[in-house]
């Protein structure tokens, strides 16, 4: 199971969902779905944009846990 830690990184950077969505080029709904783990996948292009906007590494945004 992959756990999304986007909310933690956004809080650390004091960035709102709307602000991040705008910087990344996603709709607020899609960014919210990604944040809550409702999406089944993510494009590397989107992951790259998120990492750039939040100044972080992909591993900062995701965590693997066995079910």
The total domain count for the chain is: 1
CATH number at residue 15: 1.10.260.40
- Which three-class secondary structure state does DSSP give residue 40? coil
Instruction: Tell whether 28 is covered by a domain.
Output: yes
Q: Which residue segment(s) compose the domain that 27 sits in?
A: 2-62
Cα 20 to Cα 10: distance, rounded to the nearest angstrom: 8
In this structure, what token pair is assigned to residue 15?
A: 């960035």
pLDDT of residue 32: 95
Residuewise pLDDT in 10s, the chain (67 residues): 889 999 999 999 999 999 999 999 999 999 999 999 898 899 999 999 999 999 999 999 999 999 7
pLDDT of residue 25: 95
pLDDT of residue 40: 87
Instruction: Tell whether 67 is covered by a domain.
Output: no
């Amino acid at each position: 199971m992959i756990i999304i830690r986007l909310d933690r990184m956004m809080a650390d950077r004091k960035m709102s969902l709307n602000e991040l969505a705008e910087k990344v080029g996603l709709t607020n709904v899609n960014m919210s779905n990604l944040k809550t783990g409702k999406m089944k996948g993510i494009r590397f292009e989107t992951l790259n944009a998120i990492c750039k906007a939040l100044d972080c590494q992909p591993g900062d945004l995701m965590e693997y846990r066995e079910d």
